[in-house]
Chain A
Amino acid sequence: MRDGPADVSAALLAARHGDEDAYRVLYRDVQPRLLRYLRVLVSDDAEDVASETWLQIARDFATFSGEIDDFRGWAATIGRHRALDHLRRQRRRPPTSEPFDELTDLPADHDTADAALEALSTDAALALVATLPPDQAEAILLRVVIGLDAKAAAEVLGKRPGAVRTAVYRGLNRLAERLDARDARGSTTPGVTNPNPPTLREVR
């Protein structure tokens, strides 16, 4: 993911001419970002949704034009649509198993925060971001993980750049509060302002 921008830009150009190795470079750059973003949207199904996303990217690759930042935004847009489709499909399933699964899948906020802060692993950090209201979590990940600017992130989300900036600002402050609360309470009390934020699955 830390390929120089020039490398990935060159890879994008070469992949447009059918270079498979260049396409691998693109994949290695974009897939981890995409997967982490999708994990916030569809949690454990992120790999499946990412696979669907790459199929569509491959299929429509000839129609894409733009720079590497545009490509990342394009991939994120496709991934987001596939994730929303996935959630819609899930909602059409028989309701016997799903709601309970969802409830049991949802970690308690303070547990998540504790786990994230102890190790600060990528998964834990993402899990903590995922506890934010979905618009804030998405805005932060599009900016930080996908690497888009406010305008490009706004395009992915179908919002105005100002709304994205606001969501980022609020989400970061909420994360900072949780970090401070963790420091203050010494990991015994969940000093969280919003112990049960709506999850993506509840909202969408």
Chain B
Amino acid sequence: MSENRERLDRLAAELMVSGAWASGRLGSDPLADLLAATAVSARDGELAGEEAAVMAFRAAHLSPIPELRRRSMLKTALAKLATAKVAIALLAVGGGGVALAAGSGNLPGVGSPDSHPTGRPSISVTASENASHSRAAAAGTNSAEAGKSHAPSGTPSPNLQGLCTAFNAGAGDNPGKALDNPAFTVLITTAGGKDKVADYCKGVLASASAAHPTEADSHGSPSTHPSGQPTHPSGAETTPSHPVPTHSH
């Protein structure tokens, strides 16, 4: 630092500003001292905003979590919507069938209320399928009787009873052809052959209605009619969408 007007050349200035912070050497030069004084350690009061700054940091750092929550809530909402759609679809497609199946007691696996809320379509569809089988098969005869015979049953094989009901209903037209339907395979097997189905079913249905006469009666008239009628259209809708119902021709 000379006494000239220009005390520092550019290089000296550059060195001073780049070195003042690190060196912090005092007393060597008034200008260096001045620069060093600007760059001393934090003093009281300079860090007064620390808590506020950390709180802001915390708030900003935590905010991604609410965002995640929002996102997961959206997912949940979408999942609910999807579930609702499935439920609506089930109601539209299977609900009638379920109602009818409930009426006919032909509810393999759907009977327990716990399994239904999960909305597994296959179960409901199966139910409505069976229901529409029996419904279609029982058309013209007595669907009330179908409901009568099964609904309250604690009997071991409701499927067989339902199949028998369906078989009896369709047998008048063409028993042999009805038994071609794969749906009756179990019935045929259980009965011991196609030709034994009719006799077997007579026994099954007779014992079923004999076992629960009063329940069948009380069940049959009031509830099957209301539930049976509305299911007609939905049963008709359901059947075409099914790959299975080959029995109807």
List A residues at the B interface (Cβ < 8 Å). Answer: 1-2, 15, 18, 20, 23-24, 27-28, 31-33, 35-36, 47, 50-51, 54-55, 57-59, 61-62, 116-117, 120-122, 124-126, 128-129, 140-141, 143-145, 147, 149-150, 165-166, 168-169, 172-173, 175-177, 179-180, 183
Contacts and interface: CB of A to CB of B under 8 A. Distances in A.
Q: By DSSP majority rule, is chain B's interface helix, strand, loop, or mixed?
A: helix
Q: Which of B34, B49, B54, B60 has the most CB of A within 10 A?
A: B34
Given A58-B60, A150-B14, A168-B17, A175 B31 contact: yes
A31 B10 contact: no
A147 B13 contact: no
The 8 closest A-B pairs by CB, nearest first: A58-B56, A125-B37, A143-B17, A169-B13, A176-B7, A54-B53, A32-B42, A58-B57
A140 B17 contact: yes
Contacts of A145: 21, 38-39
B60 A126 contact: no
Contact of A144 (B20, B33, B49, B52): B20
B60 A61 contact: yes
9 contacts: A54-B52, A54-B56, A58-B59, A59-B56, A129-B38, A143-B18, A145-B38, A145-B39, A176-B8
A59 B60 CA distance: 5
B156 to A, nearest CB: 63
Contact of B17 (A23, A58, A172): A172
Q: Which size class do B's interface residues fall under?
A: 35 or more
